């Protein structure tokens, strides 16, 4: 019965040059059909037509691996995934598919979770608990891709304590600038940001005006192929750096805080948090502490300090150590924290 239904599905595809895309379920399959690049896709039984969209594909070499039937309930159907590339005509202009665009399948790069089909979870600990090899074996290779600057940052900065007011202000500003972008982009522009904002000296930045922001907005990169010498020209983010510096100054003047560093570290009770997750898929992107930090800073008037941004800031400054438990990097952090005056927390 399964084989007969598979043949029917294949014939339907070749006859109609179309595929059913369920809108109520999510699957991850190899992104080999142009209309499905980095977007969920499957074949649905006729039972689910009301929850599906037609996507035109022009398949000429499509092979399907038929899996088992789903269990009982509304999820019955045959799951099939494209297993080989699709040949497209070599002549004529490529035609955009309106339905494909509506389904989000534009071929643009999406988040990490959609860049590759999901695989069975593997414990990071089992792979890295005794890792003492080269840097490219590090667990964070999947997003640093062995980029030298990014890798060096993860090894020597990320998860290490920062206490200086100006240094913390820099990281909070850069994490805010990163919102909606990749950290690698901001990391390569860090020197440009330091130059633009007086080395992130809080007192100096607080004196900057709208004219300074306008100059930063008008700056052009020296090279058409490399824009690392200029900051991201986002007026709201640039203004937020100056705004936040002024608020820090005001908080010190009215006696609310003595030190910006002590104030920020109070959200973790001045004790770093050593996480205990073992799989990258279980890594958090915010916490109760980051939520509280975000709410408090927003109440004071800070901008670009959402809970996810605050959590990334806490990671970058060593308030949270988020290496996979049991990995080489986690063990190094644990040994470092055991010698720390004041202790640390385990989550």
Catalytic site residues?
153, 175, 183
3-state SS, one letter per residue, for 188-202: HCHHHHHHHCHHHCH
Q: Which residue has the tokens 């980029």?
A: 147
Burial of 243 (0-12, 13-18, 19+ CB in 10 A): middle
Pairing of strands 320-321, 64-69: unpaired
**Which SS3 state, helix, strand or coil, does residue 297 take?**
helix
Pairing of strands 273-274, 320-321: parallel
Cα three-residue angle 50-52-58, rounded to 5 degrees: 135
Letter string b/e over residues 119-145, b meaning 16 or more CB atoms within 10 A of that residue's CB: eeeeebbeebbebeeeeeebbbbeebe
User: What's the full length of the chain, in residues?
Assistant: 347
Task: Please identify which residue in the block is written with the tokens 């994490």.
Answer: 175
């Amino acid at each position: 019965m399964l084989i007969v239904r598979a043949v029917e599905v294949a014939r339907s595809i070749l006859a109609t040059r179309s595929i059913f895309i369920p809108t109520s379920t999510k699957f991850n399959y190899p992104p080999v059909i142009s209309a499905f690049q980095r977007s969920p896709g499957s074949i649905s039984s006729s039972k689910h037509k009301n929850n599906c969209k037609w996507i035109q594909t022009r398949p000429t070499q499509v092979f399907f691996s038929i899996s088992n039937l789903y269990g009982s309930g509304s999820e019955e159907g045959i799951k099939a995934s494209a297993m080989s590339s699709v040949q497209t005509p070599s002549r004529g202009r490529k035609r955009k598919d309106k339905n494909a665009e509506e389904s989000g399948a534009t071929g643009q790069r999406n988040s990490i979770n959609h860049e590759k089909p999901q695989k069975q979870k593997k414990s990071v600990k089992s792979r890295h608990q005794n890792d003492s090899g080269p840097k490219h074996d590090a667990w964070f290779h999947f997003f640093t891709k062995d980029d030298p600057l990014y890798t060096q940052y993860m090894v020597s900065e990320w998860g290490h304590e920062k206490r200086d007011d100006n240094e913390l202000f820099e990281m909070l500003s850069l994490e805010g600038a990163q919102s909606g972008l990749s950290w690698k982009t901001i990391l390569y522009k860090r020197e440009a940001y330091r130059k633009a904002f007086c080395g992130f000296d809080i007192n100096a930045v607080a004196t900057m005006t709208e004219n300074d922001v306008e100059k930063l907005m008008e700056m052009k990169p020296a090279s058409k192929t490399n824009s690392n010498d200029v900051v991201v020209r986002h007026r709201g983010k640039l203004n937020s750096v100056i705004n936040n510096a002024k608020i820090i100054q005001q908080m010190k003047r009215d006696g609310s805080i003595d030190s910006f560093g002590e104030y920020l570290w109070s959200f973790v009770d001045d004790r770093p948090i050593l996480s205990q997750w073992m799989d990258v898929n279980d890594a958090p992107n915010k916490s109760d502490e980051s939520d509280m930090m975000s709410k408090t800073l927003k109440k004071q008037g800070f901008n670009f300090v959402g809970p996810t941004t605050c959590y990334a800031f806490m990671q970058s400054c060593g308030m949270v150590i988020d290496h996979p438990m049991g990995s080489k990097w986690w063990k190094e952090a644990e040994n470092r924290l055991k010698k720390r005056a004041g202790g640390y927390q385990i989550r």
